[in-house]
Structure 1
Amino acid sequence: MAKPEKAKFIKAPQALRQKAVNFQTGVDLTLTDEVRSRIEAVITESADAFSKDVLDKLREMRVQVKAAEDDPLSRIFILTTISELAFDIKGMGGTFGYPLLSHLAKSLKDFIAELALPNEAQLEVISIHVDAMYVVLAQGVRGMTDRLQKDLLDNLGIAVSKVRDPV
């Protein structure tokens, strides 16, 4: 049996730290009013893009649900698209401080994952999820502490359990 080698410690180079801070052209480590305002401007711009992106995804979900209502044969094909859109919204909601939006998107994604060919009632529950996300975005609901928000998630869970496919 071979004798194990002695552990070697390798000192990490400072290059990564220098790239992160970028001492030549990057942000200084001290936050001046100018630097702070530049950072706030980037955050505000990102938040505006977030709202537009989520709204676009919700509109696409509505288009998909409407198409499925009008054509029962297309129902199976909308599930993948809506699931991907819900996944995107879930991540975006968490990133930009909309935990309720994330919870609603996760609930929708989890519900869709269980479906094979959605019936009318299941399409309605999908639509309710989309409508709830619209309201959260339009009202700027950022917290999760309000009793009303908990009730919304609980009641949505009840609706999901009532129309769930039998296993």
Structure 2
Amino acid sequence: MNPPRLVEITPATHRVEIDLVYATERNLTGKPIYRRAHCLLLEPAEAALRRAIDVAAQAGFTLRIYDAYRPPQAQQVLWDFLPDPNFIADLGRGSNHSRGTALDLTLVGAHGEPLDMGTGFDEMVAASGHFHAGLPEPVQRNRLLLLGVMHAAGFTHIESEWWHYELPGSRALPPIDNAASGPWRLM
């Protein structure tokens, strides 16, 4: 049996913007978690991302990716910082990011600015939930637009994070250790 194959996502190969916040201090821990900034997805997730890119482009938008494959070691760093199962998957359950089948992203408009989603990426508050009541109508529309793009491409969402999408059935796959991520080791 062949090991899982991660595919690198770049602006040149995929017509996306990439801002891997876990390779910077601009994440909830305040410290870089990744030593290297490579945006990676398992082959089936990469194929679905290509569909999402095309759907978004039809509506005049680009995707900005904040995170994709996340080694289990990085997941542990996040859990140690914020052990809240509403927002961070513990290693016992595993994160679909660690399976290479999940990504965090937003839509970017024609002028290069991300759409207003009401909360920032990784803002671990109730208002980050997909259908949080009380958000202004333009924010609700923007979230629904992203939801439609990603669902049309074959992804599903989780309730608590407007930015998180994953392939259905991902839990059946094993996590991919950092050492098994080929030449793109993040940690």
Which TM-score band applies after superposition, normalised by the shorter structure?
Answer: under 0.3
Larger strand share, 1 or 2? 2
Question: Structure 2-normalised TM-score?
Answer: 0.26
Question: Structure 1-normalised TM-score?
Answer: 0.27
Return the structure number with greater relative CO, CA threshold 8 A, min gap 6: 2
Larger helix share, 1 or 2? 1
